Amino acid sequence: MKTLTDNVTFRHGATIKTRIVQSPMLTNSGLNEKVTQDTLDYYGAHSQSAGMIITEYTNVSPNGGPSRSWAPDREQLAVYNDDFKPGLTKLAKVLKKDGNKAILQLVHSGREAEYRHTLGGRVDVPSQMKFSWIDYPLHELTEDEVWQVVKDFGSATKRAIDCGFDGVEIHGANHYLIQQFFSAFSNKRTDYWGGSFEKRMNFPLEVAKEVFRVVNKYAPKDFIIGYRISPEETDDKNNIGYTWHESQQLLKKLTENFEFDYINLSTMDYKGGPEDVAKNYAQLLGEAIQAPTLELISGDIHTVAKMKDALNYVDLVGLGRATLADPQIAYKLANNLEDQIHLQFDEASVKKSHLTPGIIAVVANTPYFGIPGLDYLQSLSTTKLSDAVTHDGAK
C-alpha cells in the first residue's frame, strides 16, 4: 500500500522523502533569459512543496525559446551557454535548501519560440508548414542543425550538473520540439528524422542517448533523469499527431534502451484516458514503462483526496497549481498538518508562495482551474501586479 509520505529511492540511488513532486511551471520571471531575484524568491518559497521540484522549462538552444512572454522584459529561462550558470547555480541552491531534489527541465520550444522572433531571431521547426495560430516565419531545420540541437541537450545537461542540480528532465511533451518531431502532424521529413513511425522516434531517442552519454561521463552516480510526455496528440481528429498506442511504443523503447529514473505524464486530468479503451493513460502508459523506471503524473490533482487516489495508478504524484496556492504541501503532510493545507488563492497564499506576476497572469487566464480563489488572481492580473506581489525582490 503506497502512501504520500513514503520514502522513494530512484534506480540510481537518490532518495526523496515523499511521493509528492512539484510539476514544472513557467514563472516568466527571467530577464534576458537569466534567473532574477523574482525567480529565486518564488523557488525559495517552494523548497518544502515536494520531495523533488522540477523547474520550469529552460531553453537548451539559442533558438529554443523564449516562448510567449507575458511582458517584454519577462521571459522564460535559458541554459544554452555558460553565462546562464551563475543564476542557475543560485537557483539549484535555493531549491535544495530544505533537502529536496532539484531537477532542471530542458526544452527546445521549436515553433512555440514566438518571443525569439519578437527579439529578431529565428524560429525552428521539423517541417516547413502553415499553422493556423502562427503568423511568424518558421525555419525548417537541416539534418545537421537537428544534430546540433541533440548536442545542445547534452551541453545543457553538463551545465545542469555543474550548477548543482540533482537531475534533468527532458521535455518531450506539450507540443514543443521533441513532440513536434514525434508527431506525424508536424513532422513531414523524409530523412533520418522522419518519414515513418520508427524514424519519428529518432529525435527523442537521440536526445536521450546524448543526455545519458553526458550524465554517465560527468554526473554523480545518483543523478536523476526523467522524460516528460503528453500521452496523445489527438486534439484535431483530422490531423492526429500520435496516439497512446504510439506513446506506448516510444516509452517502451526509451525505458528499454536507457535507464530513466522516471517518466512524467503531462495531462490536465490524472484520471483521463483515451476514447477507445476503459483504462486511463496512467495505466496504459504504465504498462509500457519498463521497471525500475518510476511513473509520475500531473493533472488536476488539487485536493489531498486526489493526491491519495493518484497513488492507485502511479508511483509519484505531480502537483502544479496546488503548490502555487500552498507551497508547503509535502512539509505539512510529513508533519501531520494535513488539516492546515490551504488550497485556495488569497492575499496570504499569494504572498507566501511569492507568485511571480508572470505565473499569476498564466494561471488567471486558465478558466477551468478548479482551486478556489481564481477570481482573486484574476483581480491581480488585471490590476497593478507589483502592488500585490514581489517583483525582483523589491517588495
Ligand X SMILES: Cc1cc2nc3c(=O)[nH]c(=O)nc-3n(C[C@H](O)[C@H](O)[C@H](O)COP(=O)(O)O)c2cc1C
Q: Which residue is nearest to ligand X (CB)?
A: 320
Residue from 94, 319, 374, 389 that binds ligand X (CB under 6 A)? 319
Strands 167-172 and 101-107 turn out to be: parallel
Residue 89 lies near ligand X (rule: CB under 6 A): no
Residue 90 lies near ligand X (rule: CB under 6 A): no
Q: Which stretch binds ligand X (CB under 6 A): 136-144, 187-195, 315-323, 329-337?
A: 315-323
Q: Are 63 and 138 in contact (CB under 8 A)?
A: no
Q: Are 231 and 171 in contact (CB under 8 A)?
A: no
Residue 170 lies near ligand X (rule: CB under 6 A): no
Strands 15-16 and 20-22 turn out to be: unpaired
Nearer to ligand X, 106 or 289 (CB): 106
C-alpha cell at 8: 522513494
Applying CB under 6 A, what is the total number of residues that bind ligand X? 24
Residue from 26, 35, 294, 307 that binds ligand X (CB under 6 A)? 26
Least Å from the CB of residue 300 to ligand X? 5
Least Å from the CB of residue 225 to ligand X? 15
Least Å from the CB of residue 217 to ligand X? 26
3-state SS of 303-372 is CHHHHHHHCCCCCEEEECHHHHHCCCHHHHHHCCCHHHCCCCCCHHHHHHCCCCHHHHHHHHCCCCCCCC
Alpha helices (runs of H) in the chain, residue ranges in sequence order: 37-45, 85-96, 114-118, 143-163, 177-182, 197-200, 202-218, 244-257, 281-288, 304-310, 321-325, 329-334, 347-352, 357-364, 374-382, 385-388
Question: What is the rounded CA–CA span in Å between residue 80 and residue 82?
Answer: 7
Nearer to ligand X, 34 or 139 (CB): 34
Nearer to ligand X, 152 or 189 (CB): 152
Residue 266 lies near ligand X (rule: CB under 6 A): yes
Between helices 85-96 and 37-45, what is the axis angle to 10°?
20
User: What count of Cα atoms within 13 Å lies in the side-chain half-sphere of residue 235?
Assistant: 7
Residue 320 lies near ligand X (rule: CB under 6 A): yes
Nearest to 63 by CA among 128, 127, 107: 107
Residue 106 lies near ligand X (rule: CB under 6 A): no
Residue 357 lies near ligand X (rule: CB under 6 A): no
C-alpha cell at 361: 497572469
Could you give the string, one character per residue 109-148, with x where binding to ligand X holds by CB under 6 A and - elsewhere?
----------------------------------------
Question: What is the rounded CA–CA span in Å between residue 338 and residue 217?
Answer: 42
Residue from 37, 89, 174, 243 that binds ligand X (CB under 6 A)? 174
Backbone angles phi, psi at 128, to 5 degrees: -70, 120
Nearer to ligand X, 186 or 323 (CB): 323
Q: Which stretch binds ligand X (CB under 6 A): 10-18, 23-31, 207-215, 255-263?
A: 23-31
Nearest to 24 by CA among 323, 356, 334: 323
C-alpha cell at 278: 476503459
Residue from 19, 321, 354, 391 that binds ligand X (CB under 6 A)? 321
Could you give the string, one character per residue 275-314, with x where binding to ligand X holds by CB under 6 A and - elsewhere?
-----------------------xxxx-------------
DSSP notation for 375-386: HHHHHHHHS-HH
Residue 229 lies near ligand X (rule: CB under 6 A): no
Residue 5 lies near ligand X (rule: CB under 6 A): no
Residue 46 lies near ligand X (rule: CB under 6 A): no
Residues in contact with ligand X by the rule CB under 6 A: 23-26, 56-57, 105, 171, 173-174, 228, 266, 268, 298-301, 319-322, 359, 362-363
